Structure 1
Amino acid sequence: MAWSRYVKYNAATMKTLISILCFTVISWATAAAQDGVKVAPENYKVLLDNTHVRVVDFTLKPGQKSPMVSRPNRVIYAITPAIGKLTGSDGKTIPMDRKAGEAWWADAESLAVENTGQAEIHTVVVELKQ
């Protein structure tokens, strides 16, 4: 008899814990997948938005870090040198060292950018829509 009460209590507790965990993961994923234009308008400015692309002007002062944002497939063009580090939603970081005038492709991802250089990062991002 005592054992059956223990099992029922643990089952109810586990259901509650699983529900809380699922809610936390969903909330975290939603927070991680925010649009930079909405969460950091001081860094992201829309230049063009139509059914095919969204063109975004991105600036980041030295020492500044952008929030974690969700970015679709895109082409990035560096107006100034872009020296910093990128942090993915998994917490892994990779260095970024792009020259002014350089363009590159980036797959869809959630990331934060930190400017570790001495000058402002200024890029134009062409986000592709599907």
Structure 2
Amino acid sequence: MANDPVDTNPENYRVAFENELVRVLEYTDIPGHKTTEHSHPDSVMITLSAFRRRITSNGNSVEVELPPGVVRWLPAQDHSGENIGETETHTFFVELKGSARPADSQAPQPLGPSGS
């Protein structure tokens, strides 16, 4: 991936889990910290702490404030961010690598172990 956040901002992002379907990144920062521009594929963000930040992409900026415990869909994007709040940020990003079910699959698979 171009501008992989683990490479561009290694002090903030770490790979917490990865397999052929997803990569889970843990993100932390402190007030005043700015990231360099980086890319995310389609992802689900899970906030563990409240935070306030400015997100900048393609010359446009938006301020975001979220409480802990929010789960939010994020479409693929390139951006940089700045912690403009008074608290540390702690989030997880579940980055999707592709369809979880092959297109030629005939039926959904069970969500847990099957009993035999």
Contact kept? 1:60, 1:66, Cα under 8 Å: no
Residue 35 (structure 2) aligned to one of 54, 60, 66: 66
Residue 18 (structure 2) aligned to one of 35, 49, 61: 49
Residue 113 (structure 1) aligned to one of 81, 101, 105: 81
Q: What is aligned with 1:8?
A: none
Q: What is aligned with 1:95?
A: 63
Q: What is aligned with 1:82?
A: 51
Q: Structure 2: any 5+ residue segments left out of the alignment?
A: 99-116
Q: What is aligned with 1:125?
A: 93
**Separation in 2, partners of 1:124, 1:73:** 13
1:82 Cα offset (Å):
2.0
User: What is the one-letter code of the residue matched to 1:40?
Assistant: N
Who wins on radius of gyration, i.e. which is larger?
1
| Runs of 4+ off more than 3 Å | none
More strand by share: 2
Q: What is aligned with 2:112?
A: none
- SS at the partner of 1:65? coil
Contact kept? 1:53, 1:127, Cα under 8 Å: yes
- SS at the partner of 1:126? strand
Q: Structure 1: any 5+ residue segments left out of the alignment?
A: 1-32
- SS at the partner of 1:66? coil
TM-score (norm 2): 0.81
Q: Does 1:104 align with 2:56?
A: no
**Identity of matched residues, %:** 35
Give the aligned CA root-mean-square deviation in angstroms: 1.2
**Separation in 2, partners of 1:73, 1:56:** 13
Report the number of matched residues: 98
